[in-house]
A = this chain, B = another copy of it.
Amino acid sequence: MTTMTIHEIARLTGVSIATVSRVINGTGRVGAATREKVQACIAEHSFSLNRHASSLRSARSHLLLALVPDLGNPFYAEVIRGINAAARRQGYNVLVCDTGAQVDNERRFFEMLKNHQADGVICLDPETTQHALGQDAALLPWVACCEFDRKAAVPYVGIDNADAAHAAVAYLIGRGYRRIALINGDPRFLYARERERGYRQALTDAGLHAPAGGVVIAGDVAMEDGRLAAARLLALTERPDAILAASDMLAIGAMLAIREVGLRIPTDIAVMGFDNIPFACATQPGLSTVAQPSVRLGECAAKLLLDKINHPDQPSSGVLLEHELIVRGST
């Protein structure tokens, strides 16, 4: 097939290329008859614009990028669902990039933004990784989701992680647990740092303290990393009677380790997670967790980004959404 262009459409319908462009983009006035004729011709040849030419001229790609540290965590899938919903309403396509939380991967997609290959980025990568890009992010349509730096001039949406962790620990203490351990994520993640802060604060507020060796950092974010971290906790001379994990993935891994050594949940040791992924209700017992409003986080991030794209000069705003304690059998 010879590549169709608007020239070709113009020739076939006997109008000018400008008119064809107007019909396609819905810009400017076009007579009803002309419009129909052109549209018919476009449909007949199933013609579609060369987006490169269009974007080169207009500097608009109608593409949004979502940068995700780990597609294997279903939590992110839900956030993306929210992003998709909000973006499509405004005619944008969303492309997801699995960066593995690596700066150099992130940088590659950052280039796409600078190149105008994408109109904006929603980044869920570790706060410190985003930081590594310097202040360029503040100048471009870049929105931080879940992981953010309040002090950076970048719009963000997330939850109050310290507060959420505080609530989780306070709840555990209320249930009578005293030796509460923490399986944390990589401190490059804001959520890891903040949740640890909330965890420690809640203990302090109750006149308790973290058990010796009771705060471990998981090697990575997968289930298996939670299992290994929990194994270390279970080997402590003074074994914890409860474990808070920084994500459900880690928590579910921890449950595995606990079962392996023949302990019962929650009788011998309680487990609590973060995120409320669908699998949290499929473990036995069900996993108590701190739910994040995942879909709404995504929707909100997309809205902030589209605002930023449409009004680049307005000051960037930050939004915090509410978390919710979900109690199941594991505590």
User: A71 interface residue, CB < 8 Å from B?
Assistant: yes
Q: For the complex, is A278 an interface residue (Cβ under 8 Å from B)?
A: yes
Q: Does A247 contact B (CB under 8 A)?
A: no
How many angstroms between the C-alpha atoms of A6 and B241 in the bound complex?
63
**A115 interfacial by beta-carbon distance below 8 Å:** yes
Q: Which residues of A, 50-69, contact B by the 8 Å Cβ criterion?
A: 50-53, 55-56, 61, 63, 65
Known contacts A97-B93, A98-B84, A279 near B252 by CB under 8 Å: yes
**A77, B84: Cβ atoms closer than 8 Å:** no
Contacts of A61 in B (CB 8 A): 52, 117
Is the pair B50, A115 in contact by a Cβ cutoff of 8 Å? yes
**Per-residue contact bits, chain A 141-173, to B (CB 8 Å; 1 contact, 0 not):** 000000000000000000000000000000000
The answer, yes or no, to whether A182 is at the interface (CB within 8 Å) is no
Please tell me if the beta carbons of A53 and B56 are within 8 angstroms of each other in the complex.
Answer: yes
Asked whether any CB of chain B lies closer than 8 Å to the CB of A96, the reply is yes
Q: Does A74 contact B (CB under 8 A)?
A: yes
Known: A115-B50, A117-B51. A81 touches B98 (CB 8 A): yes
Question: Which stretch (A9-17, A195-203, A280-288, A301-309) binds chain B?
Answer: A280-288
Interface residues in A217-248 by Cβ distance below 8 A to B read 222-224
By a CB distance below 8 angstroms, the chain B residues around A98 are: 77, 80-81, 84, 94, 96
Contacts of A109 in B (CB 8 A): 93
Does A78 sit within 8 A of B, measured CB to CB? yes
Contact A111 B48 (CB under 8 A): yes
Size category of the binding interface on chain A: 35 or more
Considering residues A72, A224, A253, which has the most beta carbons from chain B within 10 angstroms of its beta carbon? A72
* A226 closest partner in B (C-beta): B282
Residue-wise interface mask of A (267-293) relative to B, using a CB-CB cutoff of 8 A (1 in contact, 0 not): 000000000001101111000000000
Tell whether A115 pairs with B49 under 8 Å between CB atoms, given A93-B97, A95-B96, A98-B84: yes
With a CB–CB cut-off of 8 A, which chain B residues contact A72?
74, 77-78, 81, 278
Q: Could you tell me if B281 and A284 are in contact, using CB atoms closer than 8 angstroms?
A: no
Counting chain B CB atoms within 10 Å of each CB, which of A56, A78, A95, A279 scores highest?
Answer: A95
Report Cα–Cα, A11/B208, bound state, in Å.
66
> Is A114 among interface residues, defined by CB-CB distance under 8 A?
yes
> What is the minimal beta-carbon distance from A195 to any residue of chain B, in angstroms?
22
Task: Give the residues from 64 to 109 in chain A that come closer than 8 angstroms, CB to CB, to chain B.
Answer: 65, 70-72, 74, 76-78, 80-81, 84, 93-98, 108-109
Q: Supply 6 further A-B pairs (C-beta < 8 A) apart from A65-B95, A96-B97, A283-B284.
A: A49-B115, A71-B71, A71-B81, A94-B98, A223-B282, A259-B284
A-B contact pairs, 18 of them (CB 8 A): A52-B116, A65-B95, A71-B96, A72-B74, A72-B81, A72-B278, A93-B108, A93-B112, A94-B97, A94-B98, A96-B98, A252-B279, A253-B282, A255-B282, A256-B282, A279-B279, A282-B283, A283-B284
